[in-house]
Amino acid sequence: MYNLVVTADEGEEDVRRTPKASSGTQAAGPAEASADGLTEAQAGRMLADINEVIRAGEEMRKLRAELIQVFVGLGWTQDTIARLAGMSQPAVSKQLAGRGRTGDAARPMELSLDQYDVPWLEGRLWGLAEEISHRLDVPGAVGRAVEALDRGRKRFTPQNVDRLRRLVEEDLRPRRAELPASHRAAYDRISRGLDLPSEVTAADSASVRRALARRLQRDRLRDD
């Protein structure tokens, strides 16, 4: 079926035939519900959520492979790493071989908290935020921000890091009596470092450095 289109230009008529959409095959608009009551917007949000989980899973697999390299560099045996990771020793060996490492050539990584490259400081801030969320009865906005980072829904962009700093500061000020002094001291050091980060670029990936700094910071605060 066709529609007849007539346009006038200086007294002349231009006649064109354009396809006529069938009433049974018209596509629904972005906010228009299908026959089952699901809109394209709803379907888009569902698929976006699934894509986030898939992406986070892929990133976690990559992070695990990189951490295995770090642990080998610290002198741990492949058997020990396999036991801790819930993997077989051949699977650990395969991950190392796949990244061009045999394990013997891996170098040890510095694990002092007092490092001031941006990924390391972001990891420390992440760990501090988690500890604050854990200690307070009502985690609030910090808890939600931490959960978004944990689940991979938020990335460590400068904007998200600045927002996390503000949220940590907002919890530290009015609820100082509920938190150990070590939390405020850690925040002050992290904040100063983020304001004036080190120019040194670490050899390890940003995700590895964040993950290690996060774990070390949490354990340090629990021990204080």
Answer for the pair 190, 128: CB distance below 8 angstroms, yes or no.
yes
Q: Domain boundaries in the chain?
A: 47-98, 118-223
With a cut of 60, say whether residue 31 has pLDDT above it.
no
| 41-52: average pLDDT | 88
184/128 Cα distance (integer angstroms): 9
The mean pLDDT value of the chain amounts to 80
Buried-exposed string 156-165: b where 16+ CB fall within 10 A, e elsewhere: beeeebeebb
pLDDT digits (tens, 9 = 90+) for 56-89: 888 889 999 999 999 999 999 999 999 999 999 9
Strands, DSSP E only, in the chain?
2-9, 12-19
pLDDT digits (tens, 9 = 90+) for 146-174: 877 777 777 888 998 999 999 899 888 87
Output the pTM of the full model. 0.74
If residue 219 lies in a helix (H) or strand (E), which one and from where to where? helix 206-223
Under the banding of pLDDT at 50, 70 and 90, the label for residue 103 is very low
What distance lies between CA 216 and its chain's CA centroid? Answer: 19
With a cut of 90, say whether residue 110 has pLDDT above it.
no
- What integer pLDDT is reported at residue 8 of this predicted model? 46
CA distances from 73 to 96, 98, 161, 188, 202 (A): 11, 16, 30, 31, 15
Both tokens of residue 11?
Answer: 């007294």
- What integer pLDDT is reported at residue 12 of this predicted model? 45
Answer for the pair 82, 92: CB distance below 8 angstroms, yes or no.
yes
pLDDT digits (tens, 9 = 90+) for 119-128: 999 999 999 9
Q: What is the percentage of the chain residues whose pLDDT exceeds 70? A: 78
CA distances from 103 to 71, 72, 78, 89, 94 (A): 9, 6, 8, 13, 11
